Amino acid sequence: MDLLVDPAPLRQQCQKWRSQGLGIALVPTMGFLHAGHLSLFDHARTLAGRLVVSIFVNPAQFGPGEDLDRYPRDLPRDLELCRAHGVDLVFAPEPGAMYHPDHAAWIDVPELGAGLCGASRPGHFRGVCTVVAKLFGLVRPHVAVFGEKDWQQLAILRRMTRDLELGVTIVGRPIFREPDGLALSSRNVNLTPEERAGAPAIRQGLLLVQKAARAGQLDAAALGLIFRRHLAEKLPAARLDYAEFVHPEALTPAARLEAPALLAVAVFLGRVRLIDNILLEV
């Protein structure tokens, strides 16, 4: 497995593989890998002859006062995991290698990025789109794989790739969960033991809503109330950032669940912000 920290040799190596007729799959990550990432690698491995993983905590997608400094990092451990999961090349640049001091070009998809996480994290998706477009430009992968926990991110990256004709197939993979239902996230390590013990209530709330929808309650406001009440009762210390029903692709608000809708939620537990979602097909 190769480890590269500079864009030029990455571009060169990927160009070489393409000229040999090899397909390239890319899994962009911010490191501190967990089983969810590894499941993306395992799937990506089946889609192309070479697998590239990027590990880069992208400063451009963190706002002032967010957890850029607290974001967990452990490159030696990540490299071991990548090796064990058949990754061919890890690209782990420093911010200075990814952004010129006078970097001035940004990609934004405001129609999809203004609501949900974008409302409480202004500029976040602009940072995500820009770094992913840069990675696509360097690697020129045939396929890129992302997790569905960041559903909004996935929808935005699909739209960016389509609208800019980037020629990359975007693949989304299901959320990977702990046995108690908590969605895996690198940020889970920052939860206190009490917060960690209570966190599965988020998933339980999503399942309660699914049950109510399946029983015939199609009004988004009423379903939203079920989630809020559940959270207030089971996790009184939590602060709900949002719980919204949206169209799964357009991310526009859904008032009634007559067509499939996504319930996306973001919850603060102490200083940790957790996101989760469920696709409701009633």
Which positions are annotated as active-site residues? 37
13 lines the binding site for ligand PAF (CB under 6 A): no
Shortest distance, position 266 Cβ to ligand PAF, whole Å: 14
Shortest distance, position 123 Cβ to ligand PAF, whole Å: 13
161 lines the binding site for ligand PAF (CB under 6 A): no
For ligand PAF, the binding residues in 216-255 under the rule CB under 6 A are none
Nearest residue to the partner ligand PAF, using Cβ: 28
30 lines the binding site for ligand PAF (CB under 6 A): yes
How many angstroms separate the Cα of 126 from the Cα of each of 55, 94, 108, 146, 218?
18, 19, 5, 17, 33
Binding mask 60-89 for ligand PAF (x = CB under 6 A): -x----------------------------
Three-class SS of residue 74?
A: coil
Q: Applying CB under 6 A, which of residues 24, 26, 29, 91 lies at the interface with ligand PAF?
A: 29
219 phi and psi, to 5 degrees?
A: -85, 120
- Three-state SS across 207-245? HHHHHHHHCCCCEHHHHHHHHHHHHHHHCCCCEEEEEEE
Q: Applying CB under 6 A, which of residues 4, 17, 24, 28 lies at the interface with ligand PAF?
A: 28
Structural tokens at position 95 = 């911010």
150 lines the binding site for ligand PAF (CB under 6 A): yes
Q: Which of 121, 179, 185, 120 is nearest to 149 (CA)?
A: 185
- Can you point out the beta strands (E) in 41-93? 50-55, 89-91
131 lines the binding site for ligand PAF (CB under 6 A): yes
Three-class SS of residue 75?
A: helix
| Distance between CA atoms of residues 264 and 54, nearest Å | 26
Closer residue to ligand PAF in complex, CB, 31/200: 31
Residues contributing to the site for ligand PAF (CB under 6 A)? 28-30, 58, 61, 128, 131-132, 150, 153
